Structure 1
Amino acid sequence: MKKIWLLILFVSVLFSCSDSERSNKNPFIPSYSVNLSVDTNLPAYSNLKYVSNAVIVPNYGAKGIIIFNAGSGYNAFDAACPNQEISSCGAMTIDGINAVCSCDKTSYSLFTGLGSKEYPLKQYKVQVNGTVIHVYN
């Protein structure tokens, strides 16, 4: 009986850890409330209909929100450099399928949010309903 409980505990821990629930704990980026909806039928966001395209929506999060069409869905990240003090850098820029920090020129994948530094991009949740992309936390 004891072995069964240990097996159940192991399986529950194994399945509770997931890359899709990446920790957003970052000492450089404050936790702002984000509730943003964009319609891909609008000209400003129409590029999001196509795979590997991204847009930056200003005035949300710390430095704006980057929304990226990954092909299998959309990713949303804060446009603040994740490894720099928030006041020291401008918003990140988009370079193809990467976001580039304006301070240290570190490049982060918009597919994964990962770069070569300690902290990945701060990620937000995304829900799609027809042509509307809802980004929230």
Structure 2
Amino acid sequence: MKRFWGLILFISLLSCEKERTNRNPFLQEIGFQFELNLNLPLYSPLTNSGSSIYVGNTQVGTRGAFVTNTGFDVFRVFEASCPNHAPNECSTMNLNGIVATCSCDDFQYSTITGQMLNRPDDGARYYDMLEYRAAYNGGTIVIISN
């Protein structure tokens, strides 16, 4: 009976998989916290569902962040630096509606999901946008780094 339980324990230890991270090697993980007051004209577009803005403040992320109102008081926040390049002179993405485009290579990303929209089928590793946590509290969005 001891052998049976020993075998079960051995098999369960072998079946445990170490957690693998999907860390982006191009973007550093920096600590910050920033608040957006939706009563201010600069951030008032976020009162509408489906709208996105670029927050280019140097206190937010590496190259700023894109904030999107996805509806029902849910906000998604993504790093504005292209996730497939080390930060450089062309890596700050441009926002057009809910699509962010990297000017280095014209890769496009959704500011609702953070996913790359035109992923090449060349077998290379591509990263989606780096997401930051956001909490909404009565007219204020608090953005916190991961």
Q: Same fold by TM (over 0.5)?
A: yes
Q: Which residue does the alignment assign to 1:106? A: 107
Q: Structure 1: 5+ residue runs without aligned partners? A: 14-22
Q: 1:27 to 1:44 in 2, by over 3 A?
A: same
Q: Which residue does the alignment assign to 1:62? A: 62
Q: Which residue does the alignment assign to 1:40? A: 38
Letter in 1 for 2:64: G
Provide TM-score, normalisation by structure 1. 0.79
Provide TM-score, normalisation by structure 2. 0.74
Q: Determine the C-alpha separation between the residues in 1 that align with 2:35 and 2:23.
A: 24
CA contact (8 A) 1:50 1:69 kept: yes
Q: Does 1:136 align with 2:144?
A: yes
RMSD: 2.3
Letter in 2 for 1:112: T
Q: 1:24 to 1:124 in 2, by over 3 A?
A: farther
**Structure 1 residue runs of 4 or more that deviate by more than 3 Å after TM superposition:** none
Which one has a larger percent helix, Structure 1 or Structure 2?
Answer: 1
Give the aligned length: 121
Q: Which residue does the alignment assign to 1:31? A: 29
C-alpha displacement of 1:24: 6.4
Q: Structure 2: 5+ residue runs without aligned partners? A: 121-125
Q: Which residue does the alignment assign to 1:19? A: none
Q: Determine the C-alpha separation between the residues in 2 that align with 1:114 and 1:90.
A: 17
Larger radius of gyration: 2
Q: Which residue does the alignment assign to 1:71? A: 71
Letter in 1 for 2:70: A
CA contact (8 A) 2:54 2:67 kept: yes
